[in-house]
Amino acid sequence: MINNKSDFALVTGASQGLGKEIAKQLASEGYNLLLTALPDDGLPQLAKSLETSYFNQVEYLEADLAKLGQVEIVANWANTFPLKVLVNNAGIGGSMPYHHATPDYINAIIQLNVTAPALLIKLLLANLQVQRQAYVLNVSSMAAFSPMAFKTVYPASKAFLWSFSRGLHQELKSSGIFVGVIHPGPIKTNSDVCRRIEQQKLLGRLGQVSPEKLAQIAIRQLFSMNSLLIPGIMNNINWFIIKFTPTWFRLRLLSKVTQREINDSTSFGLSQNI
């Protein structure tokens, strides 16, 4: 028996980590699901599992949102369903000296973390506005609150998402579309991310919340209409400290942590779903 509720939620980067857990949480809330993630990343199996477990309608589309044309393909697909919730979770990041960064590396981070969520919201806005109340959740990062060396582009991209989300929340709040942004700390999603968290030792693990718990917090606070979501006590303490710490000091401190990660690595690269 499939859930006959007409409300759909679109989750990007849904095949693993936080996106996968958010999809589960939304399914448990009774939403039908639209899932998108990279090809060959287990999305068909996840969709079938969620449909079986929760009796919801689950549709999926494999796409690489780091490619501009793919964003429009996903939007056109999603616009054939009555959309009530959009979760922009897909993201990418990495650590490397900037002089090693290729144009493709830089463009991938900007495209996926900046262009894709901003464009996807724009292309889905009319669909969301049909609903009496709709919700958009953008997944940023605690990294948005401070620049750091050896990451450079990644925290800048997440800072955009923070600023963009806050501005859009103010603009759309009277239209029935609620926009929230969540700032997780380190999340153990895939093997590469787990390795980098461990390399950062204690400082890199501060504020770490499991994907399951993080998804529960994210959806609960989104539907409670909290526009700025800082999950976990430690992350709230970190956020408070960041607000009152001079930029030069935290830049130096965080850059040392990232440099340690670089020094302990044998290779550099991008990590999906950060």
For 109-225, strand residue ranges (E) read: 134-139, 177-182
pTM: 0.87
What's the pLDDT score for residue 247? 82
CB within 8 A of 236, min separation 6: which ones? 230
pLDDT reading at 265 higher than 70: no
Domains of the chain listed by start with CATH number: 8-272 (3.40.50.720)
Contact 21, 45 (CB under 8 A): no
Going by C-beta distance under 8 Å and a sequence separation of 6 or more, which residues neighbour residue 123?
Answer: 71, 72, 75, 76, 79
pLDDT at 262: 72
Q: Please give the full DSSP string across 5-67, using - where no structure is assigned.
A: ---EEEEESTTSHHHHHHHHHHHHTT-EEEEEE-TTSSHHHHHHHHHHHH---EEEEE--TTS
Q: Report pLDDT digits (tens) over 221-257.
A: 999 998 888 877 787 788 678 777 888 887 888 888 8
| pLDDT tens for each residue of 116-170 | 999 999 999 999 999 999 999 999 999 999 899 999 999 999 999 999 999 999 9
Does pLDDT of 264 surpass 70?
no
Residue 46 pLDDT level (bands cut at 50, 70, 90): very high
Percent of the chain with pLDDT over 90: 66
